[in-house]
Structure 1
Amino acid sequence: MDQPTVGILHPGSMGAAVAACATTNAADVLWCGAGRSTASVERAAQAGLTTLDTLSELLDRSDIVISLCPPAAAEDLAHDVAGHRFTGVYVEANAINPQRTMRIAALLEPAAIVVDGGVVGSPPVGGKTPTLYLSGPAGATTRIETLFAGTAVRTAVLGTEVGKASALKLAYASFQKTSRVLVALAVGMAREYGVDQELIEVASKRTDSYLSEPQYIAKTAARAWRWGPELEEAADTLAAAGLPPEMLHAAASTLARWNDDKDDSSLTLSDALDQLARP
């Protein structure tokens, strides 16, 4: 099979890194630079992506389109793609709940073939090897496996049912991200009473616990603007399954206290805890 042309919508830190891996087995990897930030332009250049001026041109030229954007934008983006009558493979790889993924599939089909995707792990840079879980029509998932073969993005097919990959992504995120929020609250409480170092010492004896990594709290704060919406999606998935969503809503509300710290790599543990303690 000829190498496909791939379009990426819209490359943040994860999207750009995944797209860079796709360049290994693609004829070209395209992105639309119109209206994007300087940081996005720099990421795309570093990833070796080809810049186009319009979404229409990207869709006309792409055999495969991968959507990796903030969860809130996923359906609006899919509506834009549907308006152009895209006829290739559309990988819905956002952290959204299965019901939204199925709505997007219904919107784009039958013109396009929709594959449900969920990335578990850190962006594929510096030796990191996330897994892109896939569910959807067998021929289409095979094409995505081939696209990432031999790259830092591992793939795993969960079956032909759209929704499975989204569910797995959110099930994992609900544990992993809420656990980090609980660490921040525990350390914040201990600091209030001057026993935070003692808490960390206790936790250090349990190296399998996130509580033994308090420095990660600052990273959690910098990622809160992305993590909160993911947890709201996971809460909706719990509710749809008849499970109580309140814990994840509370974790998302906690993360919202850090929304002003978007991608701030200079944030310290002390700064993050100070901001968490402010209503």
Structure 2
Amino acid sequence: MTVGLLHPGEMGSAVGATLVAGGARVLWASAGRGAQTRARATEIGLEDAGSLEALVHASRVIVSVAPPHAALDVARGVAAAGFSGLYVDANAVSPDAAREIGRIVERGGARFVDGGIIGPANRKPGAARVYLSGGDAAAAARLFEAGPVAPVVLAAPVGAASALKMAYGGWNKGMQALLASIRALAIAEGVDEALLAEWKISMPDMPARSERAVHDNARKAWRFVGEMEENARSFAQAGLPTGFHEAAAEVYRRLSTYKDTPAPPSVAEAAAALLKRPGR
């Protein structure tokens, strides 16, 4: 079985390692990708097809793990290249976006499975799960049985796996954006020490959780902007207020300057970035 992976980023490399562990020959396309992506692909044993077109023509299955803003363009490129196999979209997109991706690849002759990944990209067995929905979900799940990313089939139509991802990530990443913002507000108003002291009394885990909200997410914040925007769209599609995740997207946008920095910022440094007004 030859599987094309678009693309072996941090989470994509965990997916790629899972596909390789299951015995698949896994291709990636180096065109337009950076040195870090190439290093990850080499480390986990992927074969470079060079171009998207070559990957499409050689693959029976394609798994898309891309930033949310790129998910539709990846699907369009695969469809335009004439792919007619099984397309698994494992991106953090709204249910409506997942259904649109499905329509794009199906019009080109492919079959479609909706996917949503929950968990960290650390390649530890069982740490992350890929939820799958749609008529071919069980077939897609077999590709992931070796782990470390574990498959979970939802007995539900296309859109369900993405909805679950949006519900989970909307709380998880939305809450962490809120915590970082709360610390920034407290620092701006000179009450950070008092807030931490109160938390230690009434919510003892909150000081450490607020530190982790910055430490664990600042250098990845650029990836979360699009996901929070997709969360806002998911809320809108369900008739819910969108402001929670529009604000979270802006929090992560302001922290995105920490991409590729050698160390994460302190809470005080992150607060300074958050408190800057756009254009200032």
Cα distance in 2 for residues equivalent to 1:12 and 1:80: 18
CA distances 1:24-54 after superposition (whole Å, capped 9, x unpaired): 1133111000121111111111121111111
Over 3 Å counting, the alpha-carbon distance change for 1:27 and 1:173 in structure 2 is closer
Cα distance in 2 for residues equivalent to 1:271 and 1:100: 35
Indicate conservation of the 8 Å contact 1:200/1:214, yes or no: no
Indicate conservation of the 8 Å contact 2:170/2:228, yes or no: yes
Over 3 Å counting, the alpha-carbon distance change for 1:257 and 1:204 in structure 2 is same
Q: How many residues were matched structurally?
A: 274
> SS of the residue aligned with 2:113?
strand
Indicate conservation of the 8 Å contact 1:124/1:153, yes or no: no
Indicate conservation of the 8 Å contact 1:10/1:67, yes or no: yes
CA distances 1:88-125 after superposition (whole Å, capped 9, x unpaired): 11001111111111111111116111000000110142
The counterpart of 1:242, out of the listed 239, 243, 263, is: 239
Letter paired with 2:15: V
Cα distance in 2 for residues equivalent to 1:225 and 1:274: 17
Over 3 Å counting, the alpha-carbon distance change for 1:5 and 1:201 in structure 2 is farther
Matches within 5 A, 1:43-192: 43-109=40-106, 111-126=109-124, 129-137=127-135, 140-192=136-188
CA distances 1:178-215 after superposition (whole Å, capped 9, x unpaired): 11111112212222344434433443467785553232
Indicate conservation of the 8 Å contact 1:11/1:68, yes or no: yes
Cα distance in 2 for residues equivalent to 1:55 and 1:116: 21
The counterpart of 1:259, out of the listed 256, 260, 274, is: 256
Cα distance in 1 for residues equivalent to 2:152 and 2:271: 38
Cα distance in 1 for residues equivalent to 2:50 and 2:228: 33
Aligned alpha-carbon RMSD (Å): 1.9
1:215 aligns with 2:219: no
Cα distance in 2 for residues equivalent to 1:130 and 1:28: 22
Over 3 Å counting, the alpha-carbon distance change for 1:271 and 1:24 in structure 2 is same
Indicate conservation of the 8 Å contact 1:227/1:255, yes or no: yes
Which 4+ runs in 1 deviate beyond 4 A? 204-211
Can you give the 5+ residue segments of structure 2 that lack an aligned partner in the other structure?
A: none
In percent, how many aligned pairs have the same letter?
A: 36
Cα distance in 1 for residues equivalent to 2:203 and 2:65: 33
The counterpart of 1:18, out of the listed 8, 12, 15, is: 15
How far residue 234 of structure 1 moved from its aligned partner, in angstroms, is 0.8
Indicate conservation of the 8 Å contact 1:180/1:210, yes or no: no
How far residue 254 of structure 1 moved from its aligned partner, in angstroms, is 2.1
The counterpart of 1:6, out of the listed 3, 13, 26, is: 3
Can you give the 5+ residue segments of structure 1 that lack an aligned partner in the other structure?
A: none
How far residue 76 of structure 1 moved from its aligned partner, in angstroms, is 1.1
Indicate conservation of the 8 Å contact 2:129/2:149, yes or no: yes
Cα distance in 1 for residues equivalent to 2:192 and 2:274: 15
